[in-house]
Amino acid sequence: MSYLQQNQERFLNELLDWLRIPSVSADPKFHGDVLRAAEYLKTRLEEAGLENVELCATAGYPIVYGEKLVDPNLPTVLVYGHYDVQPADPYELWDSPPFEPVVKDGNIYARGACDDKGQVYMHVKALEMMSQQGPLPCNVKVMVEGEEEVGSNNLGTFVRQNKDKLKADVILISDTGILSNEQPSIEVGLRGLSYHEVEVTGPNRDLHSGLYGGAVPNPINVLCKMIASLHDENNHITIPGFYDQVAVLSEEERAELNRVPHSDDEFKQSIGLKDTYGEAGYTTVERIGIRPTLDVNGIWGGYTGEGAKTVIASKAHAKISMRLVPHQTSAEITQLFQRHFESIAPSGVTVVVKPHHGGEPVVTPTDSVAYQAAAKALETSFGKKPIPTRGGGSIPIVAMFKTELGLDTVLLGFGLDSDAIHSPNEHYGLFNFFKGIETIPLFYQNYAAGMKQ
Ligand code: BES
Ligand code: MN
Ligand code: MN
DSSP state of 27: -
CB of 149 closer than 6 angstroms to any ligand 1 atom: yes
- The Cα 130–Cα 132 span in angstroms is 5
Closest CA to 56 of 164, 144, 167: 144
**Is 116 among the catalytic positions?**
no
The 3-state secondary structure of 206-223, one letter per residue: CEECCCCCCCCCCHHHHH
Q: In what order do the strands lie in the sheet with 192-201?
A: 293-301, 315-324, 192-201, 350-359
- Ligand 1 center from residue 121 Cα (angstroms): 18
**Is 148 among the catalytic positions?**
yes
Residue of minimum CA distance from atom 1 in ligand 1: 175
Instruction: Please count the CA atoms within 13 angstroms of the CA of 27 that sit on its side-chain side.
Output: 11
- The Cα 313–Cα 219 span in angstroms is 7
Q: Which ligand is nearest to the CA of 26?
A: 1
Confidence (pLDDT) at 238: 98
Looking at 84, 147, 149, 187, which residue is catalytic? 84
Fold of 3-190+361-452: Aminopeptidase (3.40.630)
Residues 6+ apart with CB under 8 A from 15: 108, 117, 118, 121, 433
For the chain (length 453 residues), average pLDDT per consecutive 10? 96 98 98 98 98 98 98 98 97 98 98 98 98 96 97 96 98 98 98 97 98 98 98 98 97 96 97 98 98 97 97 98 98 98 97 94 97 98 97 96 97 98 98 98 98 92
CB of 361 closer than 6 angstroms to any ligand 1 atom: no
Looking at 128, 145, 148, 187, which residue is catalytic? 148
CATH architecture of 192-246+292-359: 2-Layer Sandwich (3.30)
Q: Long-range contacts made by residues 159-162, C-beta under 8 angstroms, separation at least 24?
A: 159/400, 159/401, 159/404, 159/405, 160/404, 162/56
**Are 61 and 146 spatial neighbours (Cβ–Cβ below 8 Å)?**
yes
**Are 54 and 162 spatial neighbours (Cβ–Cβ below 8 Å)?**
no
The domain ranges of the chain are 3-190+361-452, 192-246+292-359
Closest CA to 408 of 359, 358, 362, 361: 362
Is residue 81 helix, strand or coil? strand
- The Cα 295–Cα 283 span in angstroms is 18
Q: Give residue 301's region: left, alpha or beta (phi > 0; psi -120 to 50).
A: left
CB of 358 closer than 6 angstroms to any ligand 1 atom: no
Confidence (pLDDT) at 357: 82
- The Cα 14–Cα 18 span in angstroms is 6
Number of H helices, E strands in the chain: 12, 18
- The Cα 108–Cα 102 span in angstroms is 6
Q: Is 119 exposed, middle or buried (0-12, 13-18, 19+ CB in 10 A)?
A: buried
Confidence (pLDDT) at 453: 85
pTM of the model: 0.95
Is residue 69 helix, strand or coil? coil
